[in-house]
């Protein structure tokens, strides 16, 4: 693509580094910003710099936080005996949006993936074990995606926690609400039969 200005080229290149945004979309966004008041671009730029330079992570659960301890860990009204283990921050947000869970979280910051060079020491597993070892935790719930890496990670953590008196569970796999039986893949359908629950 021919760029009429070096400034435009720079902006297009930077914007198109974002996931799912190509050069054409980036160009469209650039031309949009050029039509707006300069304050719009400046506010956007400032929010991005602040986001990346001022953000902090909760020292307890590793969730994103404005302070040393996040609002979830700080909340006395939440169940302090249950920890939901998730892969990353978006998972906490997704579970919070369900309004069905009232315990604490622990963000691993990834999954064990030897092929990608991610070993247990790269994840927040040691801090999870420390939290459990303090004796206040009664249940660990794995809320991980249904992948090989998730299974490996859950298995590794379970092994590490076997000496503690803590119940370990995982979120239910089954047929999503609203989806049709005949189009469900066999593994999910098979698991949902094996893991059937009492009716009413």
**Using CB under 8 A as the criterion, which residues of the chain lie in contact with its own copies when the complex forms?**
1-8, 10-11, 13-15, 17-20, 25, 27-34, 38, 40-55, 63-66, 70-71, 88-90, 92-93, 96-97
Q: To the nearest whole angstrom, how small is the minimum distance from the Cβ of residue 108 to its own copies?
A: 14
SS3 of residue 170 by DSSP = strand
Cβ closest to its own copies, residue 34 vs residue 148: 34
Q: To which residue do tokens 């247990």 refer?
A: 120
Q: To the nearest whole angstrom, how small is the minimum distance from the Cβ of residue 28 to its own copies?
A: 7
Q: To the nearest whole angstrom, how small is the minimum distance from the Cβ of residue 102 to its own copies?
A: 14
Cβ closest to its own copies, residue 54 vs residue 159: 54
Question: Could you tell me the two tokens for 148?
Answer: 């090989």
Q: To the nearest whole angstrom, how small is the minimum distance from the Cβ of residue 25 to its own copies?
A: 8
With contact defined as beta carbons under 8 Å apart, do 109 and 64 qualify? no
Half-sphere exposure of 72 (CA within 13 A, CB side): 26
Cβ closest to its own copies, residue 65 vs residue 161: 65
- Check residue 172 and report its DSSP letter: P
With contact defined as beta carbons under 8 Å apart, do 139 and 83 qualify? yes
Cβ closest to its own copies, residue 51 vs residue 146: 51
Cβ closest to its own copies, residue 75 vs residue 163: 75
Dmax over Cα atoms in the chain, in whole Å?
67
Q: To the nearest whole angstrom, how small is the minimum distance from the Cβ of residue 169 to its own copies?
A: 24
With contact defined as beta carbons under 8 Å apart, do 60 and 124 qualify? no
List the one residue out of 73, 90, 85 whose CA is nearest residue 141.
Answer: 85
């Amino acid at each position: 693509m021919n760029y009429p200005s070096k400034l435009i080229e720079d902006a297009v290149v930077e914007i198109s580094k974002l996931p799912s945004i190509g050069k054409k979309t980036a160009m469209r966004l650039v031309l949009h910003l050029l039509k707006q008041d300069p304050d719009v671009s400046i506010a956007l730029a400032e929010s991005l710099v602040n986001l990346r330079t001022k953000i902090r992570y909760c020292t307890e659960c590793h969730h994103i936080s404005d302070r040393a301890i996040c609002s979830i860990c700080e909340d006395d009204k939440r169940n302090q005996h249950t920890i939901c283990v998730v892969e990353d921050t978006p998972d906490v947000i997704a579970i919070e949006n369900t309004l069905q869970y009232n315990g604490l979280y622990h963000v691993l910051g990834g999954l064990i993936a030897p092929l990608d060079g991610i070993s247990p020491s790269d994840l927040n597993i040691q801090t999870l074990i420390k939290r459990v070892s303090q004796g206040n935790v009664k249940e660990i719930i794995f809320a991980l995606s249904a992948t090989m890496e998730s299974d490996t990670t859950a298995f590794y953590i379970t092994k590490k926690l076997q000496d503690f008196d803590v119940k370990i569970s995982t979120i239910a796999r089954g047929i999503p609400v609203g989806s049709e039986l005949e189009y469900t893949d066999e593994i999910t359908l098979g698991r949902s039969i094996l893991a059937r629950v009492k009716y009413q």
